[in-house]
Every structure is written in C-alpha cells, then in structure tokens.
Amino acid sequence: MNEFHLTEDQQDCLQELINIAMGQASDQLARYLDTFVYLKVPSIESVEASELMITLSQRKNTIAVVSQGFFGYEGIRGESLLIYQEEDSGRIADLLGYEPDELSQDEQLIDISSILTTTFLNVFAQQIDNQLSYNAPKLLPNVQEILSEHLQQMPFTWNLALKVNINYQVTDYSFNCNMIILIPETAITNIKYVLDRVLEEF
Amino acid sequence: MSNNKLFTTPIDANVPVVNELVFEQINSQITDQLNTGVLVLDADFNIVLWNRFLQVHTDKITDNIIGKSIFTAFPELPQRWLSRKLSSVLQLNTPSFCSWQQRHHLFELPHTRPITTDSEFMAQNCTFLPIESDTRDRHICILIEDVTDACHYQMQLQKTLAEIAQISRIDGLTQIYNRRHWQDSLEQEYAKARRHDKKLSLIMLDLDHFKLLNDNYGHQGGDMVLIEVSALISALLRVEDTFGRYGGEEFAIILPETDSAGAMELAHRICRVIATTPLTYNSQVINVTVSLGVAQLSCNESNYEELITQADSALYQAKSQGRNQVCSAPELVS
C-alpha cells in the first residue's frame, strides 16, 4: 500500500465511472457501426507496473499494439494501449464499414483503436467534468520485442495501470481486444483528488 | 459545460483583457499564420472555412472552395472512406487521425522540397476534430500538417537499414550468403526440421586444387573462379535452398525437406556441371572441378553443428578418393 493506491471507495467510484462510460460508449458505437453490438460487462482491474510487464511479456500471440496518448485538465493524462491477438483482427474493415481494399490492415487496427479509445475516454472525461485531447494513435512496430521496451521508454514513470478488458460481440462475427490504460504517478494523485470530489457530490 | 473551459481565461475575467473584436482578430491572424492547413466543414461536408496555408498551397480560388462539398473542391479525396471517417467524428464526437505512415497524403498539395523527395505531393498528418458551437450546428475541423521532411528522412532511414541488413548477409566477392547468415539459416532450418519432423540435407563442397589455380592465374583469376562457380551453382538451386560461402573456397548448401537421395542427385549434377563448364580468364580456358560431401539429418545429431561435421567428413572422403566426386556421410546406426 502506498500513496498511489486507491482506497476502496475510490476504487468503487472509478469502477462505477468506467462502467457508465463503457455503457454509453458502446451505445454510441453500436449506433455508429449500425449493427447490434453485444457488450459484456467490462472487467476492470488496476495492476502494478511490474505485474503488467510480466502479463504482457507472457502473451505469445499478440500481433499488434496501438498506443494513443491523452491529456486533459487537472493533470489527468496517460496512454492507452489496445492489444490485439492473432484471432481478433480478421474482419475489422467490415466492422468499420469500409471496403477491405480501401485501407491496409494497419490502418484498420489504428482506426478501430482510435475509435474505441476516444469514445470511451471522452465519455469517461464527461463523467468527471473534464475534456481530453489525444495524440495521433501509433502502431508499435515489431510487437514481440518492442512492447516491454516501449513500456520502459514511456515519457513518464507509472506505477498503476488500469486494465479494461473490452469484449465486443457482433451478430455475424466476434471482435475482441484488450484496452490497457496507463496512468503516470502524478496523474494518479490527480485522479484520486477528482474521485474524492465525485464521492463528496453523491 | 467542459467546452467553456477552453476560453476560461478571457471570458470569465470580470474585466476582459481585450475586447471581443480584438480577440477575434488575434484568432484569425493566428489561423492564417499557422504552418498547418485548417479546413472547417459543416455536417454535410461542405467547406465553411479555410486558412491561408491551404489557399497558398492549393492555388485554388476561395470562391470555388467555400460552400462547396469537400469532395467537389478536392476530387482526389477517397470519398467512401473519408465520408465514413468524417461521420465517426460527428456521430461519436471524437477526434480522428490519419498518418502519412498509412496514407502518404490525403490532399494533393505540392511541397516545398521538390528535389530530394520521391513523391510530388506533401506528406501529411491529418487530424479531424469535432467542433461544437452555441447553435446546434456541428462542424468538423481538419488540420493538415506538412510532414514531408519527417517522411523523407524516415524513408531514407528505412532504405539504409534494409541495405545494411542485406550487406551484412552477403559475401562481398561472390554475392551469395556469407558464413554467418548461412549458419544462422542452418540453425533455423535445423530447429524447424526437428520441430515438424521434416527432412533436411546438407551439401558441403570445395574447389579442387584451388591453391594451384591461384598460383597459376593469380588471385584475380582465383576470384573469378569463385564468382563463376557460385553463379553456376546458384542457377541449379531451388528458392528454398540456402547457398553460402563457408570459407575461402568452401561452399555449403542447406536443402530443406530433402532426403539424402535428393541431395545426392543435386550434388552429382553440381559436380558434373562444374567439371563440364570451361571458364575463361584473360582469354585462357580454366577447367575446375569440385568435391562434395552430403549428409542427411537423422535422429543421431543433437545439434546443427553435428550435421556440418557429417557433411564435412563426407567431403574429406571425396577429396581423399581423388576429388571431382560426391560422397555421402555413412548412415550411423544407433
């Protein structure tokens, strides 16, 4: 237990905010994708940096990671990582409503990642009266070797990461990916402050 | 609600720092001085605003742009894909991005580095931002950044890295694989053959009396022979075979999914072709021969080095039996 750990109340509050955000985001997505989207309740866990490194390096069939930075008021900032397994990425073009030959596999992954990240985080930001800006999403090259290197070379040190497992199932095909939101130490302090304020307002 | 925070400082202060008109003038001048293209569309994708950057770079007349559909004003845009992207900005109220790494450019704008770059158009990073206003109208702001330089240097770097990677694998004289790359390949093929229980054979070969060749025709004559022999052998191989220069005048061939009968057949063909193809150097005809040793992977070897040893001892046998011939490593009985 250290100063970056969330209290039980803060943890519950964050979970609730994320649930709401995910619900609204998936509703928007379903309308945008113009298809029935079945969304499981997102599983959310906060993981420590060291733990995350081990989990990620154990995944053998990761084919792509798309990273996107975000930043908002009150020192809320971080980076989202969307992680795709080999079997996840077959029909993203269909899901997005593109013709497969209109864009490369890389661009499909980047597009869907950006939509998932920004839709979710925008709604989340609204919940806490904030507004986020985003960096352009980036596909990390040579995922296998690069992921742990990338995590070590982040422009900030981070101790806590929020892992949000998103599982979308669409009628004709399934689509899965993991979203991991990395939050730097300083931003955690700010989030705790915001969570306390939200708790007070209840 | 949260949108207003953008303007918190000038609006919330009781005494405005500058009046609204001056504020507007500052904003519009910044927009026009920006080294970034700014294009604002309404919800039907008609252009409502553009900045000076685009005006200068497109060389189009404002009257032909404002009020027109973006797809009429810029017919080069991929309509179906971009419409879908623009819709996502409006519907999801989220920004969207397009990087030169996936699409070199969206708008066909000339760039300012015409000589050194390989595309005639400016490489671009585009950002699509949802814009909310007091009225219910929704707009999209497109920011177009010139990243021609970054793109150019990145391409140069990639080209150089690919060249370096290629050079590090190739033997400078014969242009076939060097020993290091050949050995790496063997290590991989060995692992693959073991994992999938596939056949794997090896041919080691050596030019006969090479020292004599060097003495008679000089080192340049010897070099020519190495180059010609490499080319003759390369022409006899399949794409999946890996041919490398193992040492001075020693060569080695990895034959995936090939048994010793197949490898022997190829070794005999190589032996025959080299012996019957006269080479010419300084209008002198040189006849060369090679000796070859063949080994097939069996259950006995516990690493790829042992396979080399097998082929090498077969090669030694071919040499001691009089050269210009093929020998196969004896099948060891376990």
Q: Would you give per-residue pLDDT tens digits along chain A (202 residues)?
A: 466 677 888 888 888 888 888 888 878 878 887 776 666 676 767 777 777 777 776 666 777 889 999 999 888 888 888 888 766 666 677 777 777 677 788 888 898 889 888 988 998 898 888 899 999 999 887 665 566 666 666 655 666 677 776 666 665 666 677 788 887 777 878 888 888 988 888 7
Strand B138-146 with B242-245, pairing = unpaired
Contacts of residue A136 in chain B, CB cutoff 8 Å? 97, 99, 125, 127
CB of A134 within 8 Å of a chain B CB? The answer is: yes
Q: How many H-runs (helices) and E-runs (strands) does chain A carry?
A: 6, 8
Among B145, B189, B249, B301, the one annotated catalytic: B249
Distance CA A95, CA A116 (A): 12
Task: Give the pLDDT confidence score for residue A129 in this predicted structure.
Answer: 87
Parent domain of A150:
8-201
Task: Give the pLDDT confidence score for residue B233 in this predicted structure.
Answer: 97
Q: How confident is the model at residue B197 (pLDDT cuts 50, 70, 90)?
A: very high
Task: Give the pLDDT confidence score for residue B5 in this predicted structure.
Answer: 47
Q: At residue B204, what are phi and psi to the nearest 5 degrees? A: -110, 135
Burial of A88 (C-beta count, 10 Å sphere; 0-12/13-18/19+):
buried
Domain at B34-155: CATH code? 3.30.450.20
Quick: pLDDT tens for B52-107.
999 999 888 888 899 999 999 999 999 989 999 999 999 989 999 999 988 999 99
Question: Closest chain B residue to A135 measured between Cα atoms?
Answer: B97
Is B331 labeled as catalytic in the residue annotation? no
Instruction: Judge: A97–B78 Cβ closer than 8 Å, yes or no.
Output: no
Residue B70 CB neighbour total at 10 angstroms = 23
Do B165 and B278 form a contact (C-beta atoms < 8 A)?
A: no
Do A140 and A80 form a contact (C-beta atoms < 8 A)?
A: no
Question: Closest chain A residue to B95 measured between Cα atoms?
Answer: A118
Residue in A31, A32, A107 closest to B102 by CB = A107
A93 Cα to chain B: minimum distance (Å)? 11
Residue in A99, A103, A129 closest to B2 by CB = A129
Task: Give the pLDDT confidence score for residue A114 in this predicted structure.
Answer: 92
Burial of B333 (C-beta count, 10 Å sphere; 0-12/13-18/19+):
exposed
Distance CA B234, CA B174 (A): 11
Question: Closest chain B residue to A25 measured between Cα atoms?
Answer: B92
Average per-residue pLDDT in chain B?
90
Strand B290-296 with B326-328, pairing = parallel
> If you search the block for the tokens 């376990």, which residue do you land on?
B334
Q: Is there a domain that residue A3 lies in? A: no
A74 Cα to chain B: minimum distance (Å)? 12
- Chain A interface test: which of B2, B3, B98, B126 (most A C-beta within 10 Å): B2
Can you spell out the DSSP letters for B37-48? EEEEEETTSBEE
Assign residue A60 the CATH number of its domain: 3.40.1550.10
CB of B4 within 8 Å of a chain A CB? The answer is: no
Task: Give the pLDDT confidence score for residue B324 in this predicted structure.
Answer: 95
Q: Is there a domain that residue A82 lies in? A: yes
Q: Is the pLDDT of residue B332 over 50?
A: no
Residues sharing a CB contact under 8 Å with residue A60, sequence separation 6 or more, in sequence order: none
Q: Is the pLDDT of residue B50 over 80?
A: yes
- Mapping DSSP to helix (H, G, I), strand (E, B) and coil, where does residue B288 land? coil
Task: Give the pLDDT confidence score for residue A153 in this predicted structure.
Answer: 67
Distance CA B51, CA B144 (A): 11
Do B273 and B289 form a contact (C-beta atoms < 8 A)?
A: no
Q: Is the pLDDT of residue B196 over 50?
A: yes
Quick: pLDDT tens for B219-231.
999 999 999 999 9
CATH class of residue range B168-328: alpha beta
Task: Give the pLDDT confidence score for residue B333 in this predicted structure.
Answer: 40
Q: At residue A140, what are phi and psi to the nearest 5 degrees? A: -75, 130
Domain ranges of chain B: 34-155, 168-328
Number of domains in chain A: 1
CB of B8 within 8 Å of a chain A CB? The answer is: no
Instruction: Return the percent helix, strand and coil in chain B, to nearest 5.
Output: 45, 20, 35
Q: How confident is the model at residue B161 (pLDDT cuts 50, 70, 90)?
A: very high
Do B326 and B267 form a contact (C-beta atoms < 8 A)?
A: yes
Residue in A104, A114, A129 closest to B97 by CB = A114
Q: Is the pLDDT of residue B269 over 60?
A: yes
Q: Is the pLDDT of residue B6 over 60?
A: no
Q: How many H-runs (helices) and E-runs (strands) does chain B carry?
A: 10, 12
Of B27-31, B316-320, B322-326, the range with the lowest mean pLDDT is B27-31
Instruction: Judge: B2–A130 Cβ closer than 8 Å, yes or no.
Output: yes
Task: Give the pLDDT confidence score for residue A101 in this predicted structure.
Answer: 74
N-to-C CA span, chain A: 26
Q: At residue B160, what are phi and psi to the nearest 5 degrees? A: -65, -45
Q: Give the A window 24-83 contacts with B, CB below 8 Å.
A: 28-29, 31-32, 73
Q: Is there a domain that residue A108 lies in? A: yes
Instruction: Judge: B81–A103 Cβ closer than 8 Å, yes or no.
Output: yes
